[in-house]
A and B are shown apart, each in its own frame.
Chain A
Amino acid sequence: MKNDKQRIVITGIGLTSPLGNNLSELREGLLNGRSGIVHTEIRHMGKVAAGLCRFDETKHQSKKMRKRGTRAGAISVFCTKEALNDSGVDWDATDKARVGVYLGITEHGNVETENEIHDLYNSHNKDVSFWSHHHNPRTVANNPAGEVTLNLGITGPHYTIGAACAAGNLGIIQGAQQLLLDEVDLAFAGGISESTETFGIFAAFKAQGALGHHDDPSLATRPLDVDRNGIVVSEGGAVYVLERLSDAKKRNAKIYGEIIGYHSNSDASDFVLPNTERQIECMKYAMKKAGIEPGEVDIVNMHATGTNQGDIQECQAVAGLFSGCPTTFVNATKGFIGHAMGAAGALELAGNIPSFVDGYIHPCKKIEKLDPDCAIPNLVNGEKIAHDVKIILNNSFGMLGINSTLIIKKYS
């Protein structure tokens, strides 16, 4: 039996997503089947489907700092300040040296590098004396987390966790681990992505035959559907305030849920193709650490990106573990908000956490023609269902064969 110092709880959530800029807006969109995907113009690409966030970048930072920093930094600062405000933590009384910032990223720096090279070739005739002195501080991998520390005066550790599309989960896991190690007393942890600002990610997915497109942007990505189309790139962020339960109790904090288990492993098999066996292993180890059996899980949130290999392999993994579990339901989020890359795991978890309170499981975006290879039991398709949710298992997987599973339990 763990004591309260060994239990990590979520006490604040801040986010921005293609469906809104706080938990209730995101939840409302998911429960009511709204799509946040739109068409937008991307340099060199023309019109593409994407998930864009519309939040006030200068709500929590000055205009000058926004201009000096990055879109990733702006998303990070916004989400973190929103999470802090939501948590009710007395910030003035908080020892800033005992606060850590741990943010998952798929990549960082492509936006700024593309912009500099574009200007270098198109405006400056390749004269590198015009290259910005801001380039290095903007593109260092810790930039998104570092901007948070500058904004909030945090003097504890900060860094990003580069973990492809598993990064959102990994950021939360890192935060929990640092609390368990007593390195910090409060962690801002989650994932962010600004990938929609680059043409490179769109062009690469297109070259791979994996970029989702459709005249109706809401149909551009349809995970688990025979006509799944492919990936829609999105931006977004979700940052959680994590604390040890003992500290949360001391200040009588609102508790969203408890991190009871997690795991991360590697496929060691392919640069991009997933691996069912390793995904099963990842979920199994996470459940073992949590001390639960598959039948105790109420929601499995799939990574489900809308690619043939990704959807089918993961469905086989989920079915392999949960097909005999009548009260375990499966949903996926990317049909509504697209693939938020480094933010995906954290953002998709946020979409499900309110189920502990409102008693619903949000659906997958309506799958009109379910791929027979994805016809797994208890798939919540198109309509929310009422269910007393106590445990959520959140999957996020990424390129180079990185898998992550995070398990959150309703606090009681």
Chain B
Amino acid sequence: MVTNAEVRTKVLDIIADIALDDDVTGIKDDVALREQLDLDSMDFLDIVMELKKRHKIEVPQEDYPRLASMASCVEYLVPKFNQ
């Protein structure tokens, strides 16, 4: 069983490797990532690709909005990590 906290750490690790110039340690979970970090659409595609490469998790295009904030990422990804 992968916990919410563990999924959050995995997502944070990915974001840290993408938002290389930002401090990601103070991310507010309920605020949109784009409002806190210098992220654009290509960065979100990077997040999707890294989830696939590192964790074999597929995020279909219609679900991209579920990655908007850390809280929504965790809510969306925990079931996938535990499938």
A interface residues, Cβ below 8 angstroms from B: 62-64, 67-68, 129-130, 132-134
Which one of A62, A64, A130 contacts B18 once the chains associate, using CB atoms below 8 Å? A64
Which one of B20, B45, B49, B53 contacts A64 once the chains associate, using CB atoms below 8 Å? B20
Given contacts A64-B18, A129-B52, 13 further A-B contacts (CB under 8 A): A62-B20, A62-B21, A63-B21, A64-B19, A67-B20, A130-B49, A130-B52, A130-B53, A132-B49, A133-B45, A133-B46, A133-B49, A134-B42
Q: What residues on B are CB-neighbors of A68 within 8 Å?
A: 42
Q: What residues on A are CB-neighbors of B52 within 8 Å?
A: 129-130
Residue of B nearest to A127 (CB): B52
Docked pose: A130 CA to B18 CA in angstroms: 17
Decide yes or no whether B38 CB sits under 8 A from chain A.
yes
B3-37 CB mask vs A (1 if < 8 Å, else 0) is 00000000000000011110000000000000000
Docked pose: A256 CA to B73 CA in angstroms: 56
Residue of B nearest to A124 (CB): B53
Docked pose: A133 CA to B49 CA in angstroms: 9
A-B contact pairs, 21 of them (CB 8 A): A62-B20, A62-B21, A63-B20, A63-B21, A64-B18, A64-B19, A64-B20, A64-B21, A64-B38, A67-B20, A68-B42, A129-B52, A130-B49, A130-B52, A130-B53, A132-B49, A133-B42, A133-B45, A133-B46, A133-B49, A134-B42
Q: What residues on A are CB-neighbors of B19 within 8 Å?
A: 64
The A interface is mostly helix, strand or loop, or mixed, namely: helix
Docked pose: A133 CA to B52 CA in angstroms: 13
B interface residues, Cβ below 8 angstroms from A: 18-21, 38, 42, 45-46, 49, 52-53
Docked pose: A63 CA to B46 CA in angstroms: 15
Q: For the complex formed, measure the closest distance between the CB of B47 and the CB atoms of chain A, giving whole angstroms.
A: 11
Docked pose: A129 CA to B58 CA in angstroms: 10
Q: For the complex formed, measure the closest distance between the CB of B19 and the CB atoms of chain A, giving whole angstroms.
A: 7
Q: What residues on A are CB-neighbors of B49 within 8 Å?
A: 130, 132-133
Residue of B nearest to A119 (CB): B53
Q: What residues on B are CB-neighbors of A67 within 8 Å?
A: 20
Docked pose: A62 CA to B18 CA in angstroms: 12
Docked pose: A62 CA to B21 CA in angstroms: 7
A-B interface, 6 closest residue pairs, ranked by CB to CB distance from nearest: A63-B20, A64-B20, A62-B21, A133-B45, A63-B21, A64-B21
Docked pose: A62 CA to B37 CA in angstroms: 14
Q: What residues on A are CB-neighbors of B45 within 8 Å?
A: 133
Q: For the complex formed, measure the closest distance between the CB of A73 and the CB atoms of chain B, giving whole angstroms.
A: 15
Q: For the complex formed, measure the closest distance between the CB of B33 and the CB atoms of chain A, giving whole angstroms.
A: 14
Docked pose: A64 CA to B46 CA in angstroms: 12
Q: What residues on A are CB-neighbors of B21 within 8 Å?
A: 62-64
Docked pose: A209 CA to B67 CA in angstroms: 53
Q: What residues on A are CB-neighbors of B42 within 8 Å?
A: 68, 133-134
Residue of A nearest to B39 (CB): A64
Residue of A nearest to B20 (CB): A63
Q: For the complex formed, measure the closest distance between the CB of A251 and the CB atoms of chain B, giving whole angstroms.
A: 33
Residue of B nearest to A133 (CB): B45
Q: For the complex formed, measure the closest distance between the CB of B53 and the CB atoms of chain A, giving whole angstroms.
A: 7
Residue of A nearest to B21 (CB): A62
Docked pose: A304 CA to B18 CA in angstroms: 44
Q: For the complex formed, measure the closest distance between the CB of B61 and the CB atoms of chain A, giving whole angstroms.
A: 12
Q: What residues on B are CB-neighbors of A63 within 8 Å?
A: 20-21
Q: For the complex formed, measure the closest distance between the CB of A7 and the CB atoms of chain B, giving whole angstroms.
A: 42
Q: What residues on A are CB-neighbors of B53 within 8 Å?
A: 130
Docked pose: A64 CA to B53 CA in angstroms: 19
Q: In this complex, which of B21, B38, B42 has the most chain A Cβ atoms within 10 angstroms of its Cβ?
A: B21
Q: What residues on A are CB-neighbors of B38 within 8 Å?
A: 64
Residue of B nearest to A62 (CB): B21
Docked pose: A62 CA to B46 CA in angstroms: 17
Docked pose: A132 CA to B50 CA in angstroms: 11
Docked pose: A396 CA to B46 CA in angstroms: 41
Docked pose: A62 CA to B52 CA in angstroms: 26
Docked pose: A63 CA to B20 CA in angstroms: 6
Docked pose: A133 CA to B19 CA in angstroms: 17
Docked pose: A388 CA to B49 CA in angstroms: 60
Docked pose: A130 CA to B19 CA in angstroms: 21
Docked pose: A64 CA to B15 CA in angstroms: 11
Residue of B nearest to A66 (CB): B20
Residue of B nearest to A131 (CB): B49
Residue of A nearest to B45 (CB): A133
Q: What residues on B are CB-neighbors of A62 within 8 Å?
A: 20-21
Residue of A nearest to B58 (CB): A129
Residue of B nearest to A137 (CB): B42
